[in-house]
Copies of this chain bind each other. A is one copy, B any other.
């Protein structure tokens, strides 16, 4: 496939004037949604949504299209390099695709490719993952450390790529790892000031509290809730993971119950998804740190996205307010 075609991101494609009709282009895109449908004449066609981190557009691909088989095979979450010509249908961008090729894993990991497709946590995930491993090793209580390690041996690969949410805080690639790591850092900083909290239990609880999301969210490029996520919810899924590996690690019954309780109660209020109210010092502590870092994560993201001249961000639903993103007046320089 020739590479010389101009490569467009979706925001640019959408910014083209109608006079661009017929213009050739190339793009690297994720298949965000794909559904095979049957027209009233019996023919099968694909209803596809293609996008990158700057936006997405829908198109209908009929059985006789040259890209039909490639898109169908790639499936939701697949990444394809497409070539086509700009067209409009019913007033919306609806390019006519002439070629499509799925990207191999190796191509995906080329510098910049992924970043162009999805929003990614600002800290490098390799470094975060190493810090994470150090945190696990630092747990002093043997069975607790084995429990945590057991869980991440099982779901760690998914965990480190998963977003922390579909639409709320830390809703981007590696967001779950980032949010959990930030909570662990906050926890360690606060522990000296809350001596009634058992350090190992609180930290283990933080590391495990959202692990159910690695099962609840499916797909890292086109995230949606999985069947297990809908039918059980991440709170119960995470509880089940901790229970399984706690028993395997012969964690004493008292600690296991307290660890499970942190996971079951971390959402704070039943209407936000908690199975029970937090009823141990560690569970109260973890749920409040979760709250704090979730809100600060929204602040951090809004600051990253703010233009230099913006005074306020858009209204952030999680804060019920726009955020003042303008920098503070620098303090006077004292000579």
Contact = CB atoms under 8 A, between A and B. Distances in A.
A285 interface: yes
A280 B186 CA distance: 20
B196 A299 contact: yes
B254 A328 contact: yes
A170 interface: no
A269 B321 CA distance: 11
A279 interface: yes
A281 interface: yes
A90 interface: yes
Interface string A267-304: 00111110111111100110011011001101110010
A154 interface: no
A36 B90 CA distance: 27
A137 interface: no
B277 A196 contact: no
A211 to B, nearest CB: 16
Interface stretch (A22-30, A102-110, A158-166, A258-266): A258-266
A178 B137 CA distance: 35
Interface string A157-197: 00000000000000000000000001001100110111010
Given A11-B40, A90-B93, A255-B328, A230 B193 contact: no
A101 interface: no
A309 B37 CA distance: 10
Interface SS of A by simple majority: helix
A66 interface: no
B190 A186 contact: yes
A275 B11 CA distance: 39
A334 interface: yes
A69 interface: no
B89 A90 contact: no
A248 interface: no
Sorting the interface of chain A by its residue count into under 10, 10 to 19, 20 to 34 or 35 or more gives: 35 or more
A260 B240 CA distance: 12
Nearest to A252: B329
Contact of A193 (B90, B142, B182): B182
Interface in A214-230: 227-228, 230
Most buried by B among A17, A233, A271, A279: A279
A74 interface: no
A265 to B, nearest CB: 8
A91 interface: yes
Interface in A288-335: 288-289, 291-292, 295-296, 298-300, 303, 309, 311-312, 319-324, 328-329, 331-332, 334
20 contacts: A9-B40, A18-B90, A141-B331, A142-B334, A189-B190, A190-B190, A230-B279, A230-B321, A231-B260, A233-B275, A258-B328, A269-B271, A279-B319, A279-B322, A281-B296, A281-B303, A284-B298, A285-B292, A288-B296, A289-B292
Given A269-B271, A277-B321, 10 more contacts: A12-B39, A12-B40, A18-B88, A90-B92, A186-B190, A254-B329, A269-B320, A271-B271, A289-B292, A291-B292
- Across chains A and B, which 9 residue pairs bring their CB atoms closest together, nearest first? A91-B91, A277-B321, A288-B292, A189-B189, A271-B271, A254-B329, A231-B261, A279-B321, A233-B276
